[in-house]
Chain A
Amino acid sequence: MTELLYLGAAVLFIFGLKQLSSPRTARKGNMLASVGMLIAVVVTLANMENIGWGPIIAGLAVGGGVGAALALRVKMTAMPELVAAFNGFGGVASALVALAEIERWEALFDNETGVVVALSLAIGSVTFSGSFVAFGKLNGSIPGRPILLPAGQVVNALLAVAIAAVAVWAISADNALAYWIVVGLALVLGVLAVIPIGGADMPVVISLLNSCSGVAAAMAGFVINNSALIIGGALVGAAGFILTVLMGEAMNRTIANVLFSGFGAVTSGPVTTGDKPVKKATADDVAIALAYAENVIVVPGYGLAVAQAQHAVREMATALEERGVNVDYAIHPVAGRMPGHMNVLLAEADVPYDQLLDLDQSNPRFPQTDVVLIIGANDVVNPSARDDETSTIYGMPILEVDLATTVVVVKRSLSPGFAGIDNPLFYQDGTMMFFSDGKAAVESVIAALGNV
């Protein structure tokens, strides 16, 4: 009976994930999955005999309180680091389950159980320390730039070999201490593996670690012979992996590339912006261009979220729509701090999701677009990625805004973006540069629209 109820929970997870893939049903999908989780926990509790309730109730209360407080208080802009932190907790939980089993059986496992114990420990611990380094890089407590250590890759490879060797020792000698050493080494490996990766690549790392925490849960499932853990863990492991590949594709980077290249460590020479002339615009110029346009596409970048300008942009769009202007938003897959993050930030500002166009939807539209308004985005609209084979970002999918009639770029200065390269878009004939903070710019345009 327990097994059937676990299966029911797993089916709810599958339906939940399926519905999470469509905006219309996503919220219901999340609820289904959470009901599945509740069923799994209740069934487990009901099925246990002679249990000590103390640690369970204490853990559920503390964890539930902390989790709820974090989830309800977090600012939407801080979403990437929160997901990283939650993921770290999931990873360490799987490692702790395996450690508790080691204590309980004094490390006396048969070989196959020993292998899955070691795997839960190693994967869970790497997920834990890696996720918290990612968390630190995203919230700024650890420098976001890649920190390259001498012979980093060699050290990491040696660490991985050492983990495997100690695990073999632990399994063959039934040695609890050796299992704990696996944990220690894996914690170090998680830190060393993530530290050299630049902040811009963190979303891919978190997604990959999310996949790992699923695998760790599945391994813990093998340890305690529990099908709910095996199914749930395998689902998330696979789904998280697909998501990681999708994100990598959007950034034109393979997973191997992210993990082993130290992006941003590519030290490009000083950017020669030279004295090329740009056309500067005022709020009035921009307001006039927007007010008399038929089709406007807003391209928001993370700069917009930093400036907390989503609400102002929404206000501006409403003012334009009242004048009969058609306003849409083109969202590059990496527009926010993680794929889909910008959509969440705009949704928070009440922008309907059907006005958000993805890369494939927006590129065919730019040639018929009168004005493109770029706020806080740079590399994702850089035509060099399409035209200049020598560029470091050559081949990265971009929003082809240069095909629109007029391009307005709101930016503090001509400084380059993450990739550290110049953007020819700024010097193009149809481009107007509006040098300003994103929020102040949009607010001044709204004011100017009142006079047009």
Chain B
Amino acid sequence: MSEVFISGIVVFVLAAFVGLEVISKVPPTLHTPLMSGANAISGITIVGAVIAAGISEGTFAAILGFLAVTAATINVVGGFLVTDRMLEMFKKKPGRG
């Protein structure tokens, strides 16, 4: 295996542990927005999509890239917006601590 690939695995495993730790204590009240927000972050694949779409214009690969950018952008833009819409409604009762 190449050095690059191995360091990729290291990053992957460490990031996975961070993900496990960050989420372990979430009140049930936030499960739905959290799922929606995490889902928006998984749209990070938009970065790969942009690279794929831009690198080979005029070819079939660029068409696939365009479709990837479209799908990933729906995921990212829609995901963050709808999460914000949900969280905007969460209010604390005035004067109750």
**Residue A237 is within 8 A (CB to CB) of chain B in the complex:** yes
A372 within 8 A of B: no
Chain B positions 40 through 65: 1 when the CB is less than 8 Å from some CB of chain A, otherwise 0: 11111111111111111111111111
Complex Cα–Cα for A113 and B16 (A): 21
Alpha-carbon distance between A53 and B69 when the two chains are bound, in angstroms: 12
Please tell me which stretch of A41-49, A261-269, A382-390, A414-422 contacts chain B, meaning at least 4 of its Cβ atoms lie within 8 angstroms of it.
A41-49
User: Which chain B positions have C-beta within 8 A of A24?
Assistant: 92
Q: How far is the CA of A48 from the CA of B12 in the complex (A)?
A: 24
Interface string of B59-91 (1 = CB under 8 A from A): 111111111111111111111111111111111
The closest CB in chain A to the CB of B20 belongs to A238
What is the CA–CA distance of A264 and B78 in the complex, to the nearest angstrom? Answer: 32
Closest beta carbon of chain A to B90's beta carbon, Å: 5
Contacts of A355 in B (CB 8 A): 93, 96
Once A41-B50, A104-B56, A242-B20 are accepted as A-B contacts, the answer to whether A352 and B96 lie under 8 Å apart by CB is yes
B40, A33: Cβ atoms closer than 8 Å: yes
Residues in A neighbouring B83, C-beta threshold 8 A:
30
A432 close to chain B: CB less than 8 A: no
Complex-state Cα separation, A39 to B16, whole angstroms: 21
Q: Which residues of B contact A30 (CB under 8 A)?
A: 33, 37, 40, 80, 83-84, 87
Q: Find chain B residues with CB under 8 A from A20 CB.
A: 26, 30, 33-34, 37-38
Closest to B57 in A: A52
Q: Which residues of A contact B46 (CB under 8 A)?
A: 37, 40-41, 93
The secondary structure that dominates the A interface is helix
CB distance from B65 to the nearest CB of A (A): 5
Contact partner of B71 (CB less than 8 A), chosen from A89, A231, A246, is A89
Cβ of A207: which chain B residues have Cβ within 8 Å of it? Answer: 35
CA of A34 to CA of B40 in the docked complex: distance in angstroms? 8
Interface size class of A (residues with CB under 8 A): 35 or more
Write the nearest CB–CB distance from B83 to chain A, whole angstroms. Answer: 5
Q: Which residues in B have their C-beta under 8 angstroms from that of A289? A: none
Roughly how many angstroms separate A288 CA and B8 CA in the complex, as a whole number? Answer: 66
User: Are A239 and B93 in contact (CB-based, < 8 A)?
Assistant: no
Known contacts: A221-B8, A226-B51. The answer to whether A27 contacts B37 by CB under 8 A is: no
Kindly state the interface size class of chain B when it binds its partner. Answer: 35 or more
Q: Is A16 positioned at the interface, with any CB of B under 8 Å from its CB?
A: yes
CB distance from B67 to the nearest CB of A (A): 5
**Residue contact B41 to A229, C-beta cutoff 8 Å:** no
In the assembled complex, how far is the CB of residue A259 from the closest CB belonging to chain B, in whole angstroms? 18
Q: Are B75 and A87 in contact (CB under 8 A)?
A: yes
* Inter-subunit contact A339/B28 (CB<8 Å): yes
- Interface stretch among A59-67, A158-166, A290-298? A59-67
Would A235 and B60 count as touching, CB distance under 8 A?
Answer: no
- Give every chain B residue within 8 A of A90 (Cβ-Cβ): 39, 42-43, 45, 71-72, 75, 79
Residue in contact with A224 in the complex, picked from B48, B75, B78, CB distance below 8 Å? B48
A236 proximal to B (CB < 8 A)? yes
- A234 x B22 contact (CB < 8 A): no
A358 touches B (CB below 8 Å):
yes
Q: A30-B80, A246-B31, A353-B29 are in contact. Are A236 and B12 (CB under 8 A)?
A: no
Q: Do B12 and A218 touch across chains, with their CB atoms under 8 A apart?
A: yes
| Partner pick for B4 among A26, A225, A240, A246, CB 8 A cutoff | A225
Are A71 and B81 within 8 A (Cβ)? yes
Q: In the complex, A250→B17 CA distance in Å?
A: 23
| Docked complex Cα distance between A63 and B76 (Å) | 9
Given contacts A89-B71, A92-B71, contact A48 B54 (CB under 8 A): yes
Most buried by B among A103, A210, A235: A235
Q: Which residues of A contact B (CB under 8 A)?
A: 10, 13-14, 16-18, 20-24, 26-27, 29-31, 33-34, 36-37, 40-41, 44-45, 48, 51-56, 58-60, 62-64, 66-68, 70-72, 74, 76, 79, 82-83, 86-87, 89-90, 92-94, 96-97, 99-101, 103-104, 112-113, 206-207, 210, 213-214, 216-218, 220-243, 246-247, 250, 331, 333, 336, 338-341, 343-344, 347-348, 350, 352-356, 358-359
Interface residues in chain B, defined as those with a beta carbon under 8 Å from any beta carbon in chain A: 1-2, 4-5, 8, 11-13, 15-20, 22-94, 96-97
Ranked 7 nearest A-B pairs via Cβ: A52-B57, A63-B73, A59-B69, A238-B19, A340-B31, A67-B78, A232-B44
